[in-house]
Amino acid sequence: MTNEQNVQPEASTLVSPTEQESKPFNSELKISSCQELAKSSWPIYKQNIKKFISLMLIPLFAFFVLGVLTFFSIIPIFLFHPENIAIKYGLIALIVFVLIIAFCLFIYIAISSQAGMFLLIKNYKDNITVKDAFMGGRKIAVKFFVTNLLVAFFVFLWTLLFIIPGIYMTLAYSMAIWVLICEGIAGGAAIKKSKQLVKGYWMALFGRYAVVYIAVYAVIMIPFLIFGEKSGMGIAWTVISQVLSFLVAPFIVIYTYYIYLDLKKIKNI
């Protein structure tokens, strides 16, 4: 390590984004290969598969419960037929209000569950419970939603230009959620940090993402090509493929986590 790297800034000194970007990175390190990423991801996936499934089932359970509660809340309103127009419109407004509240609660629970999965992966060594992961997800649900929304919005704008810029920026923004989960940086700042991490390694990320998604796509699509989508086996495989997609989703998230860790080591930011 050089003398410049050994010098520590004073406590009151603030490090600007420009200084952070110019911080030297370790060019000798490389992103792990697809095989190495998969090998690192598998133990975490295997150890926590029941927790992942539980977290992913929470929104489905919430949808059922909220659906039942909403139904029994609205039915009495439907049974009441007032002649007064003002009261009738008031009841319609009440129905709309109940539906909006139920929808917002479902979205909040779904986002908390998804954020909880990321937290469960980050803190896998602590062996946290599903409840702890979900409650932690609740605390960052708004930031998680906003960051995802911004990423989706910017990717959509880039895709309007052409599909290639859309793909390029999708990868450039792909570390934004891990920046939020691991560093507490949200929104536009998380997107900017993600671009800094990915810069210079776009093709490496493209290759590693392509391999895992092509593998999953092949496993799902090849039976359709063999049996046909409208055959009995094809219809059965439609259900099976949905279950497989459900089960493989956590593994892909873990896979991206190790890519993030590699980029952090390389860029040293």
pLDDT in tens, 187-222: 999 999 999 999 989 999 999 999 998 988 888 877
Contact 255, 42 (CB under 8 A): no
Q: Tell me: pLDDT of 14 over 60.
A: no
Q: Tell me: pLDDT of 224 over 80.
A: no
Residues 73, 150, single domain; the answer is no
Give the tens place of pLDDT for each residue, 125-180: 998 999 999 999 999 999 999 999 999 999 999 998 888 888 899 999 999 999 99
Give the span between the Cα atoms of 251 and 95, in whole angstroms.
40
Residues 163, 64, single domain; the answer is no
Rounded to two decimals, what is the model's pTM?
A: 0.81
Residues 152, 240, single domain; the answer is yes
Q: Is 32 helix (H, G, I), strand (E, B) or coil?
A: coil
Residues 63, 152, single domain; the answer is no
For the chain, what is the domain count? 2
Domain boundary among the residues 113, 139, 165 is at 139
Range of the domain at 247: 143-269
Q: How many residues does the chain have?
A: 269
pLDDT number for residue 46: 94
Q: What percent of the chain is predicted at pLDDT more than 70?
A: 86
Residues 170, 231, single domain; the answer is yes
Helices (H) and strands (E) in the chain, counts: 11, 0
The reply to whether 22 falls in a domain is no
> Which of the four pLDDT bands, split at 50, 70 and 90, describes residue 25?
low
Q: What is the mean pLDDT of residues 31-58?
A: 94
Domain boundary among the residues 110, 139, 168 is at 139
The reply to whether 3 falls in a domain is no
Q: Which residue has the tokens 């507490």?
A: 184
Residues 104, 64, single domain; the answer is yes
Domain boundary among the residues 123, 139, 155 is at 139
Residues 132, 195, single domain; the answer is no
Residues 134, 57, single domain; the answer is yes
On average, the pLDDT of the chain sits at: 85
Handedness of CA 86, 90, 96, 100 (dihedral sign): positive
Residues 93, 171, single domain; the answer is no
The reply to whether 15 falls in a domain is no
Residues 147, 261, single domain; the answer is yes
The reply to whether 194 falls in a domain is yes
DSSP state of 80: -
- Sequence-distant (6+) residues with CB within 8 A of 14 are none
Residues 214, 246, single domain; the answer is yes
The reply to whether 5 falls in a domain is no
Residues 151, 264, single domain; the answer is yes
